[in-house]
Amino acid sequence: MSTLAVFDLDHTLIAADSSLLWTDYLWEKGIITDPAFFAADKQMMADYSAGKLDMAAYMAFSLKALGNATVAQIDEWVAEFTESKVRPLVYPDAIKTLAFYKEHGVPVIIISATADFIVKPVAKMLGVNLAFGIELEIKDDHYTGALQGITTFREGKVEKLANFLDIRQFLPERTIFYTDSANDLPLCRYATDVLTVNADPVLQAEAEKQGWMQLTWSLNPING
């Protein structure tokens, strides 16, 4: 049986939201000095939890934090950010689970509603070669703040994954999906198997209704 494993990123593989970590990193580096970016992140999380986030508006504002930095400069920052901020927050159970799929030859995809210039390096750090995030327009070696392609948020994750699989002509008989968020319910319904990780209340209620396996991952697992 052909199988595909699909993972959300934030609060699923790592014990944090990478967008918030990114703002913290930029603040600590002195790249941003305006507290308004933290207020925007707080509102983003509230809207995300409520399922009403305006992704285009949030990304346009958050990218202002990068000023006139080139794509190459941002990539350098992200490389340091991935090691210093993200790596320490990877769940040990996530590492074990990814290793299990690799050992058994099961392809893995990470799909996230975070900017792809963050998602892809983090995925690579985790040993995952296929990853999708929010794609951003680039002009003259700078991010414009505009979105492009399929926005990997809510129903967009399903569209992005289905489009990718169609292009690859890969139709897995079993698609296993791991997530923490009710925003991913569309992809949960697309998958054949769902495992929740530290599920939010709405997702937890749906998991109990559907009989989905519910996992609790910690940075310090009792049996780790």
Catalytic residue IDs = 8, 10
**Strand 136-139 versus strand 193-197 pairing type:** unpaired
Question: Given 3-state DSSP classes, what are the helix, strand and coil percentages for the chain, each rounded to the nearest 5?
Answer: 50, 20, 30
Rounded CA-CA distance 211/214 in Å is: 9
* Crossing angle between the packed helical segments 36-49 and 55-62, to the nearest 10 degrees: 160
Rounded CA-CA distance 21/80 in Å is: 12
User: What is the DSSP secondary structure assignment for residue 44, as one 8-state letter?
Assistant: H
In angstroms, how far is CA 46 from the centroid of its own chain?
17
CA neighbor of 8 nearest in space, from 48, 35, 62, 57: 48
Strand order in the sheet with 213-215: 130-134, 108-115, 3-7, 174-179, 193-197, 213-215
State the amino acid at position 159 in one-letter form: E
User: What is the DSSP secondary structure assignment for residue 85, as one 8-state letter?
Assistant: I
